[in-house]
Structure 1
């Protein structure tokens, strides 16, 4: 798909002290993107849905001052951010409730400071291996063309004896990563789903075919790879369509002999998320019928509506069976 271009860019003057900040500004200027020098972003729509739409076309070039990284179980030991929010309009996104009514994209340009914080966490845990996730609150691949900072991270981890990086994406902008000395210290995981789920709910993201082609490129470049199948939904013909998904992965990766990991996540939603989703996507076809779900206490202090145990067990067993039948080199890391 085409690279994301914002309608407007706000630039924190402090970010221009950094090379990546200057790079982003020059890139946006060449594209004639309107630039506003400001320490804050102003979005004034006439409705929540308009605020959401405008925010998804707005970037804020700024810095990240975080010194203490948060835990990121079960994906990694810690999470860090090169950006927040992303250009995708996934209706079910779990970030609906954490990034406010106006989820504009913050792009952090002080990469040197971010890597210093990562190195401190690696040193504190030495000689153990410390793993880091950089896609918990964003899609770093979707915004990589603005700064090139993910490439710098991969190069950093390639030289980090005790550090490992995990990247997750729904986008196919991976060419800049193919000739890096990554030393197999960065794992790329591609978020995939059936064509029904992608077309109905994952707006403004790369197509299924584009994601698989990107995965092939990354695999050919020698990176460890994995797939997150999420959110797994029950709908008419769901079993045949998830089988088609696994069959396609198998046919496209038959020559990849290293381990392939899978992370399986069933569809869930909170009451707050449901309210926001219905405001932003009033015509959504997401199944959020609470009467067909059961409550599960979440790690962030909120109840989630998940499939009943009988259904979630069916999902887990069916998808796991498909994977194990088709991939001798598969490792299912978790189901939740």
Structure 2
């Protein structure tokens, strides 16, 4: 998949104090991306849908001064951000309701300061501490602008007790293949069936691209995992999830290290449903509340999940597929 090129970039003047900021600006200039220096991002669409569309092609180079990192269970101990939002247009995205009407991409350039904060958190613990860098973004999708993720992998490779977890839907992984990662960075690919990717994960890497990228990462001996999310019930879903697992097995037949899987069934909130229908009025997502049951979420909101019998069927079917085909696998959780 080609690297993402924004239609416009806003530049926080503070960015010029950082080497990564200067590099990113030079790169954007070479790509002929219009640049405006401002502490404020201005997007003026004629409708909420146009604001959303324009935002997904707009980046804001700025700095991240966050000192206290948030917990990130069950994925990791903490989460940190190299950016926010991403170029993808995933219709079901759980960030639909948290990033506002204009989810433009913030790209942070003060990588050394970010790593200093991470180092402080590592030092406070005597045990292994894990960090997730993809909770509110896809770090691989924006890596070509800053090189920040590569710097993180190199930092964690030298850390005694720090471990990095990366999650992506993109296949642009070549810059990570020759890094001495010391097995301290785990790559997890968000994968799904062709139907789900083609219908709901717009502007992301394809089914085949992600699987080939995972093989590249495996060949570089990174710890490897997969998130199958969201698992959706539709006509022929069992056959297509079987195809997915068998295709992974074929490409990873030479990878003998442990592989983890994280399984997440499709869910939505009432607020998210309204927003999804505004942004994707022709969506094929099943958002019929009568087909779901309510579940209390960790952030103080009810969400609609599959009824218990359907949820159990998903868990049992996908789990059996995984364990039958990956003897070296562990399912970390199903939710």
When normalised by structure 2's length, the TM-score is: 1.00
Deviations 1:163-192 (A, max 9, x none): 000000000110000111100000000000
CA distance in 2 between counterparts of 1:285 and 1:238 reads 14
CA distance in 2 between counterparts of 1:145 and 1:16 reads 18
List aligned pairs for 1:33-48, cutoff 5 A: 33-48=33-48
Deviations 1:51-78 (A, max 9, x none): 0000000000000010000000000000
Deviations 1:287-331 (A, max 9, x none): 000000000000001000000011000000000000000000000
* Paired position in structure 2 for 1:297: 296
1:30 lines up with 2:30 in the alignment:
yes
For structure 1, the residue ranges without an aligned partner over 5 or more in a row are none
Deviations 1:116-169 (A, max 9, x none): 00000000012x000000000000000000000000000000000000000000
CA distance in 2 between counterparts of 1:251 and 1:180 reads 25
List aligned pairs for 1:35-114, cutoff 5 A: 35-114=35-114
CA distance in 1 between counterparts of 2:238 and 2:212 reads 24
CA distance in 2 between counterparts of 1:19 and 1:217 reads 30
CA distance in 2 between counterparts of 1:249 and 1:179 reads 23
CA distance in 2 between counterparts of 1:72 and 1:256 reads 28
SS in 1 for 2:249: helix
1:316 lines up with 2:315 in the alignment:
yes
SS in 1 for 2:95: helix
CA distance in 1 between counterparts of 2:171 and 2:16 reads 28
List aligned pairs for 1:171-320, cutoff 5 A: 171-320=170-319
SS in 2 for 1:125: coil
Deviations 1:71-116 (A, max 9, x none): 0000000000000000000000000011000000000000011000
CA distance in 2 between counterparts of 1:136 and 1:65 reads 17
Deviations 1:9-58 (A, max 9, x none): 00001011011100110000001100000001000111111000000000
CA distance in 2 between counterparts of 1:331 and 1:16 reads 45
1:170 lines up with 2:147 in the alignment:
no
Pairwise CA RMSD:
0.4
Deviations 1:267-292 (A, max 9, x none): 00001100110111111111000000
CA distance in 2 between counterparts of 1:144 and 1:202 reads 19
SS in 1 for 2:183: coil
List aligned pairs for 1:118-157, cutoff 5 A: 118-126=118-126, 128-157=127-156
- Could you list the structure 1 runs, at least 4 aligned residues long, displaced by more than 4 angstroms after superposition: none
For structure 2, the residue ranges without an aligned partner over 5 or more in a row are none
SS in 1 for 2:124: helix
Shift of 1:266: 0.1
SS in 2 for 1:284: coil
CA distance in 1 between counterparts of 2:314 and 2:161 reads 36
